[in-house]
Amino acid sequence: MTVVAPKIPAHDPRAATPLGVAALRLGLTPQPLIALTRDARLVVTLKKVTDPAHAVLPVGSEVDLSKALLAHQGGVAVIDCAAVATSIIKLIDRVHAQFPELVLIVAGSAKEQGMLAAQITDGSVHRFLHRPVSEQRVRLFVEAAWRRHAQGGLVPEVPPAPRAPRRGRAALMLLGLAALAGLAAPLAWRALRAPQETANGAAAPVADIANDAALENLLARADKALAAGALVTPPTENAAELYREALKLTEQARAISPDHVRVAFIAAQIGAERERAVLNKAQRAAAGGDVAGALATLDDAAHGGHRSTLVEEARAQLAQKQLDARVADYLSRGREALARGALIAPPEDNARFYFESARALAPGDAGVQQSMQELITRLQSEAHQALAAKNTEQADIWIAAAAALGAGPAQMSALRGETQQLRASAHSEGLKQLAAAFNERLERGALLEPATDSARFYLTQLTQQAADDPATQRARSAYGTRVLDEARNALRSQDFAGTRRWLAEARAASADAAGVAALDAALSTAQDEAQHAANYVDASSLTRIRYVAPQFPDIARTRGIDGWVDLRFVVGADGAVSDVAVVGAQPAGVFEQAAVDAVRHWRYQAVVHDGQSVSQRARVRLRFTVQR
C-alpha cells in the first residue's frame, strides 16, 4: 500500500515551521483558539474571523482556562478582563510562566491596558483589544497571533498595517539575500566535511574525526526523521531526540575547546542556515503582501541574537514600507471622515484622530501637513457658521479644536473676539427680554404668582444674570415700591396677615428701609387698636334716649359732597356719652367735627350687668348725604 502525504494548505499558519508541517502531514488536530469570556458577542466575532482550521473554545472561568490549556495545548488564547475574578496581572504572569509559547490577546478598557503595560512591553501580552471591539480589529489581531505562534511565539510581533502593501524593492532585495545565503550553506558544509588540520598542518586527532562523523550521522538521521514526519516516535529514531543528541555533541565540543576549528565551522554553518531560512521566510511573506509577517520574521532573528547587516537592511526597508502604508491609510481614512463631516467625533473615527495618528508616525510628511491644514481650515469654517447661527457654545468647540491642532494665533484671536461680542450681545438682548417680561407682570399685578411667570421670578433672573446692571436696579426699585403699596392696602383693609406677608416680601426685595419700618409700626398700632376695638359694641345695640342730629357742613352741602365718619365713644353708668374719638372718615377733614359735636350730646339708657349699671364702649358710623 502506498502512503501519500496529505496536501498542506498554503494558508495554514502551521506550515510556517517544520513541526507545523509535520503535524499537518500526520493529520494532527489543529490547536483551538481558547477564549476566557462571558461575552457571547465576542465569541461570535471570534468564530467569524478565526480560520476554520482552528476551533474557538470558549471557557467561563480561570479554572476552566487552565484545564483547556492543559488539555488542548492551545496556541492562541483570548482573555476578557471582564471575565477575570482575580488580578488580571497575576493571571497573565501565571499563564505566561506555565505556557511560555502561548500567544495571548487581552480584551478590556484603557485602564486595564495601562495596568498591563509591562506585560505588553515584554511580549507576555501579544495584543490588547479595546472595547467595544470591531470585527476588523479582532480579525487582524487573531491572524497576527496565529502567525506569531507559528513562528515560535517568543517575541512581540510588529503590528499589522491596515493595508497589505504591494510587492516592491524590499521583496526583490530579500530574494537576492536568500540566494546569497543559499550559496554560503554548501560551502560551509564542504568545509565541515573536509579533513580538519591543526595549526601546523597535521591532521586532527582520530577521536575528533570520529566525533565529526558521529555528529554528521546524527544530523543526517535527524533530517531523515523530520522529512518522514517522525517527530517524537519511534524511540531513539525520532527527529526531536536525534537533534538533541547532535546539539549535545556540539556543546561538548565547544566546552572542551571553544576555539576548535570544527566548532567554528559548525557555528558558521548554523548561522548560514539560519540566515537563509530567515530571509527565505521573510521573502515569501513580503512577496505575498504580508509585510507585517516579514517584519515579524526579521524581528525574531534580531531578538534571537543573530545579527546580520543584510537582515537589518531588509528589515529597515520593510519597516519603512509598512510605515508609509500605515500613514497613507490614516490619511485616506481621515479624508473620508472629512468628507462626511466627522471632523472631531465620534471618538477614534474622525478626521482629527486619523490625521493626528498620521502626524505621530510621520510629522515631517508633506501629505500629513497638508491634511492637517485642510482640517484646520474646515474647523475655522465651521466656527464661522456657528457664529452666524449665534451658537456660541458650538463655536467654542470648533475654535478649541482648531487651536489644539496649531491654527494661526491671529485667526484664533479674531474668532474668539467674534464669539465674545456675540455672547455679550446675546446677554444684553436677554436682559432686555427679562426686563420687558418683569414690567408687564408688574403692571398687571402678577407680583408673586404664578411662581415661574411672575414679576418676582423675572426679577430673580435679572439679579442672577446681571445684579449691577441699571435695568436690574430699576426693576428692583419698582418691585420694592409696589410690594410696599400692597402692604399699605392690606393694612387699610384691616388684613393684618396680608400686611405681614407683603412686608416680608418687601424686606426680601430690599425695598425702602424707612418705608418698611413705618409700615411695620403702623401695623403694630393697627393690631393694638383692633384688639382694643374688640371690646366695643355697635351703638345700635344700645337704647338711645336722646339724639342730636349732626350739622351738615356748609362747604360739603355747597359742593355736593357725601361721606361718612366712624366714631368710638363710652356710655357711662348714667347713660352719658364721653371719650368720643374718630377712627375713620371719608373724605377726611370734612365731616369729623360735625359728627363728634352731635354724638357728645347723645344719651343712652344705662347698661345693667348683674343688677348694676356699668359703662360700655360703643362704635357708630354716621353718614352724610346731600339731599338732591
Among residues 285, 289, 294, the alpha carbon closest in space to that of 317 is found at 294
**349: helix, strand or coil:** coil
Q: Which of 258-267, 294-303, 387-396, 407-416 has the lowest mean pLDDT?
A: 258-267
- Please give the pLDDT value at position 31: 83
Which residues, at least 6 apart from 47, have a Cβ–Cβ distance to it below 8 Å?
Answer: 56
State how far the Cα of 257 lies from the Cα of 260, in Å rounded to an integer: 5
Say how far apart CA 354 and CA 64 lie, in whole Å: 40
The verdict on residue 305 lying in a domain is yes
The arithmetic mean of pLDDT across residues 103-119, rounded, is 91
Q: Are residues 177 and 136 in the same domain?
A: no
Same domain, 176 and 303: yes
Task: Note whether 527 and 500 are within 8 A (CB).
Answer: no
Q: Are both 308 and 201 inside the same structural domain?
A: yes
Mean pLDDT across 381-410: 93
pLDDT (average), residues 99-120: 90
Q: What is the pLDDT of residues 124-134, one digit of tens each?
A: 899 999 888 88
Residue linked to cell 400686611: 499
* Boundary of a domain, candidates 533, 568, 589: 533
548: in domain: yes
Domain end point (choices 108, 123, 150): 150
Question: What pLDDT is recorded for position 308?
Answer: 64
Q: With contact defined as beta carbons under 8 Å apart, do 14 and 28 qualify?
A: no
Residue 275: half-sphere exposure toward Cβ, Cα within 13 Å: 26
Q: How far apart are CA 453 and CA 573, in angstroms?
A: 60
The predicted pLDDT at position 222 comes to 75
Total domains, the chain: 4
Is the peptide bond preceding residue 587 cis, with omega within 30 degrees of 0? yes
The DSSP bridge pattern shows strands 612-614 and 607-609 to be: antiparallel
Let me know whether 574 and 591 are in one domain. Answer: yes
Question: Is it the case that residue 280 has pLDDT exceeding 90?
Answer: no
The residue written with cell numbers 348683674 in the block is: 610
Higher pLDDT, 234 or 397: 397
User: Is the pLDDT at 117 greater than 70, yes or no?
Assistant: yes
Most confident range (mean pLDDT) of 282-286, 391-395, 423-427 is 391-395
Which residues lie across from 77 on neighbouring strands? 34, 104
* One domain for residues 183 and 195: yes
Q: For the residues 541-546, what does the mean pLDDT come to?
A: 95
Query: 456-466 pLDDT, tens per residue?
Result: 999 999 999 99
Grid cell, residue 392, equals: 456660541
CATH number where 39 lies: 3.40.50.2300
pLDDT in the model for residue 474: 93
- Do 226 and 269 reside in the same domain of the chain? yes
- Choosing from 533, 558, 586, the residue where a domain stops is 533
Q: Quick one: cell of 50?
A: 478565526
Q: What is the pLDDT of residues 254-273, one digit of tens each?
A: 555 555 544 554 555 555 55
297 vs 24 pLDDT, higher one: 297
Q: Look at residue 583 and tell me whether its pLDDT is greater than 80.
A: yes
Sheet (strand 563-571) strand order? 537-538, 616-624, 563-571, 577-586
Q: For 584-588, which contacts have Cβ atoms below 8 Å and span 24 or more sequence positions?
A: 587/561, 587/563
Pair 199, 295 in one domain: yes
pLDDT at 568 over 70: yes
Give the confidence band of 484 by pLDDT, cuts at 50, 70, 90: very high
Phi, psi of 127 (to 5 degrees): -145, 150
Stretch 213-235: mean pLDDT: 75
Three-state secondary structure call for residue 40: helix
Whether 188 and 315 share a structural domain: yes
Q: Is the same domain home to 491 and 543?
A: no
- Answer with the residue of higher pLDDT: 508 or 21: 508
Within a domain: 573: yes
The verdict on residue 406 lying in a domain is no
Answer yes or no: is 23 within a domain. Answer: yes
Record the cell numbers describing residue 473, joined without a space: 436696579
518 CA to centre of own chain: 60
Question: Is residue 415 domain-resident?
Answer: no
Report the predicted TM-score, pTM, of the whole model to 2 decimal places: 0.36
Do residues 250 and 266 make contact, with C-beta atoms less than 8 angstroms apart? yes
Query: How long is the chain?
Result: 628
The boundaries of the domain holding residue 297 are 169-324
What is the per-residue pLDDT for 295? Answer: 72
**Residue 102 and residue 248 in one domain:** no
135 and 222 assigned to the same domain: no
Do 54 and 122 lie in a common domain? Answer: yes
Question: Is the pLDDT confidence value at 441 over 70?
Answer: yes
How many other CB atoms sit within 10 Å of the CB of residue 131?
Answer: 14
Contact 168, 288 (CB under 8 A): no
Cell digits of residue 230: 517522525
* Residue 570, domain member (yes or no): yes
Section 199-204 average pLDDT? 42
- Nearest one of 335, 343, 332 to 378, comparing CA atoms: 343
Q: What is the mean pLDDT of residues 120-141?
A: 89
Q: What CATH number does residue 612 fall under?
A: 3.30.2420.10
pLDDT of residue 221: 85
CB 79 within 8 A of CB 36: yes
CB 157 within 8 A of CB 292: yes
601 lies in some domain: yes
On the question of pLDDT at 26 being above 50, the answer is no
For residue 478, the cross-strand partners are none
User: Can you state the angle between helices 309-339 and 351-361, rounded to 10 degrees?
Assistant: 160
State the DSSP H helix or E strand holding residue 440, giving kind and residue range, or none if neither.
helix 409-443
